Amino acid sequence: MSHSITTIGVCGGGGTMGAGIAIVAARAGFKTISYDRSPDSLASARKQTSQFFDKSVERGKMKPELRDEALARLTITSDIAELGACDLVIEAVFEELGVKHALLKQLDEVCPDHTIYASNTSTLSITEIASGSKRPHNVVGMHFCLPAQLMKLVEMSAGILTSPETFKTAWALTEQLGQIPVETRDDPGFILNALLVPFNNDAIRAVEAGVAEAGDIDKAIKVGLGYKMGPLELIDLIGLDTQIRLCEAFYGVTLDPRASAPPLLRRMVAAGLTGRKSGRGFFNYGSNAMFGA
Amino acid sequence: MQENPTNSNPANTNPANTHSIPYAVLGTSRISFPDNDPFHASATLATEAEIMVYLGYPHLEDHSKRAILVELDTECLGELTGEHLGEEGSNILGFARYRNGTDDPSPLVELVKQKNSRPEAIAAAIALFEAAGLQVAVCNDHLGRIIDRLVRPKYNAALRFLDEGRATQKDLDLTCKLGLGYPDGPVERVVRGGLVHHYHITTVLFEGTGASGYAPARRAIVAAKRERN
Ligand SMILES: NC(=O)c1ccc[n+]([C@@H]2O[C@H](COP(=O)([O-])OP(=O)(O)OC[C@H]3O[C@@H](n4cnc5c(N)ncnc54)[C@H](O)[C@@H]3O)[C@@H](O)[C@H]2O)c1
């Protein structure tokens, strides 16, 4: 039987994705409980959330009274027992199967039988994550994009044991959140990362093979195809170390040569050139340039 | 490593006498400049030209010209100039205005150089195309140049995902538009440009590199066979 969803939990609410997802849920009118094992991260996410809503009001995107209501609907906690009140919990904790399994085990103890567990994983299998719960039929993939509070896309996927009811309810909820769901399968990288990670590697290999300089490669892609950002600029933003982690996750399960980390990528990370955050990757950003600055 | 993500080739910073380089156009373009393109209107006679632009036409060597620009399709520049143990290069450069099959040509020109290409020829070619309102990305003489080398494996993957039921065409394309800000999705784009066109390009790339990512997608093979029958 389907339960209507009134209360949403976010696990990892102090993290990059969790904080954004909590904003989406509270903004859409749901009572939102943001849980993280790090109280400091939660407190700083709460502050950023408040600033984000203030900006939305300043820019005329949100009425002041709606900001106040949204903030009042969003509570933070480091006590997992509070998630017992949730009809749906979205997890955005560290991207490690063991961490996600341990979390689901705890959730099984505190959440009622009907609670849906949605995973925001980018690289892990929904079916494998679900195997950590006694209720794998309640587990569904709900992959938001960064920054979640601004990006509308959510890739939704069912694991082998996900019940059609769970998928349907989660899909309807995603629409209620004001997001745009697309349906994909529980395949590595879903759609977005399955296309993007090898494409970005190909761009690195083009630099490595001396096809052209990084600036010319990005220029060609932007001018020729109308992309907003060139692939090498995007890798600098994602972080070259993160790109290696993505490669390892996908190549390990697909053995697709395009998904394997190019040697140049490893050399650059070894040299400390991890992209914007280090001031240098495929391009130089000066010592402390911020994205968009 | 480069100073910022928007700069291009060093030659860009020193365009020689942008508007005034007389150029002649010979032949009929397969890709870059259809007959009604304004690029033809400003061309001059071959005898007065400092740059010769050959469109689908066998080019002539002429060391007195600042640059000889030869339009390329899927071939390498070396096929036209001959190659000399990695030391090739002269005032002859290759170019192609990027075009997604039957779509209108884009504002991008891929300019192909060789190791010993003359820097003055590169600078003159960039100045010529920029004066025509185009933007230039310089690359070495590799199969697929920049764009086809990078996008064709992605189109193959998207077509395979469609075959395998990973998602519908609509959701595959929507995901790329919403998630990555692309103006169009990979499936709609490759189909609009022509699956047969995709087949021809990927066949050349696959034969030349042996890389599995270039092996033509099943849907492209089907389209090519249907055209033959
Ligand atoms: N960052 C991205 O671009 C992005 C995009 C889409 C999806 N994702 C996915 O979202 C998830 C989170 O990624 P992130 O970048 O936000 O990570 P992050 O490191 O910024 O945040 C993770 C948060 O989870 C908390 N946490 C870890 N283990 C916990 C546990 N057992 N219980 C409670 N809290 C715990 C941490 O304290 C931290 O605040 C991952 O699955 C990732 O694959 C990330």
Domain-wise residue ranges, chain B: 15-140, 146-228
Confidence of residue B59 (pLDDT cuts 50, 70, 90): confident
A143 has catalytic annotation? yes
Integer CA distances (angstroms), A222 to A4, A151, B95, B153, B181, in order: 45, 21, 18, 18, 11
Strand-pair partners of B2: A283
A122 has catalytic annotation? yes
Residues 6 or more apart whose CB falls under 8 angstroms from that of B202 comprise B152, B156, B214, B215, B216, B217, B220
- List all residues of chain B from 100 to 119 with a beta carbon under 8 Å from chain A: 106-108, 110
Which range, of A35-39, A182-186, A288-292, averages the lowest pLDDT?
A288-292
Measured distance CA(B55)–CA(B25) in Å, rounded: 7
A114 has catalytic annotation? no
Average pLDDT, chain B: 91
What homologous superfamily is domain A192-276 in, according to CATH? N-(1-d-carboxylethyl)-l-norvaline Dehydrogenase; domain 2 (1.10.1040.10)
Which range, of A127-141, A229-243, B54-68, averages the lowest pLDDT?
B54-68
Q: Which of A152, A184, A231 sits opposite B166 (nearest CB)?
A: A184
CA-based nearest residue to B28, from B40, B19, B46, B43: B40
A273 contact residues in B (CB cutoff 8 A): 1
Distance (angstroms) between ligand 1 centre and the Cα of A259 equals 23
Catalytic residue among A41, A56, A155, A200: A155
Q: Is the pLDDT of residue B43 over 90?
A: yes
Q: Is the pLDDT of residue B9 over 70?
A: no
Question: Angle CA(A17)–CA(A18)–CA(A22) in degrees, nearest 5?
Answer: 120
Integer CA distances (angstroms), A73 to A29, A32, B53, in order: 8, 6, 67
Which tokens sit at A256? 């697709």
pLDDT number for residue B2: 52
Domain ranges of chain A: 7-184, 192-276
**Interchain contact B192–A (C-beta under 8 A):** no
**Quick one: what percent of chain A has pLDDT higher than 90?**
96
pLDDT number for residue A193: 97
pLDDT number for residue A2: 64
Residues 6 or more apart whose CB falls under 8 angstroms from that of B47 comprise none
What homologous superfamily is domain A7-184 in, according to CATH? NAD(P)-binding Rossmann-like Domain (3.40.50.720)
Which residue is listed with tokens 């240098």?
A280
> Phi and psi dihedrals of A32, rounded to 5?
-125, 125
CB B167 to CB A221 under 8 A? no
A·B CB contacts under 8 A: 174
Ligand 1 pocket at CB < 6 A: A 11-12, 14-18, 36-38, 41, 92-95, 99, 103, 120-122, 143-144, 146
Which tokens sit at A264? 């140049």
Mean pLDDT for the stretch of residues A110-134: 98
Q: Is the pLDDT of residue B83 over 50?
A: yes
Q: Which of B107, B151, B171 sits opposite A182 (nearest CB)?
A: B171
Ligand 1 pocket test, candidate residues A21, A34, A36, most atoms within 8 A of CB: A36
Q: Which of A198, A258, A282 sits opposite B1 (nearest CB)?
A: A282
Q: Is the pLDDT of residue A47 over 90?
A: yes
Chain B nearest-CA residue for A187: B166
A155 has catalytic annotation? yes
Measured distance CA(A145)–CA(A19) in Å, rounded: 12
Q: Is the pLDDT of residue B5 over 60?
A: no
> Phi and psi dihedrals of A283, rounded to 5?
-130, 160
Which range, of A174-183, A236-245, B56-65, averages the lowest pLDDT?
B56-65
pLDDT tens-digit map of A235-265: 999 999 999 999 999 999 999 999 999 999 9
pLDDT tens-digit map of B178-194: 999 999 999 999 999 99
Confidence of residue B201 (pLDDT cuts 50, 70, 90): very high
CATH class of B146-228: mainly alpha
Q: pLDDT higher for B7 or A223?
A: A223
Average pLDDT, chain A: 95
Global pTM value? 0.92
pLDDT number for residue B58: 80
Confidence of residue B56 (pLDDT cuts 50, 70, 90): confident
Q: Is the pLDDT of residue A12 over 90?
A: yes
CATH of B15-140, one of 3.90.550, 1.25.40, 3.30.70, 3.40.50: 3.40.50
CA-based nearest residue to A183, from A130, A136, A223, A143: A143
Measured N-to-C along each axis, helices A214-225 and B147-164 cross at an angle, to the nearest 10 degrees, of 60
Confidence of residue A286 (pLDDT cuts 50, 70, 90): confident
pLDDT number for residue B96: 96
Measured distance CA(A17)–CA(A175) in Å, rounded: 18
From the alpha carbon of A102, which atom of ligand 1 is closest?
31
Specify whether the CB–CB gap between B84 and B57 falls below 8 A: no
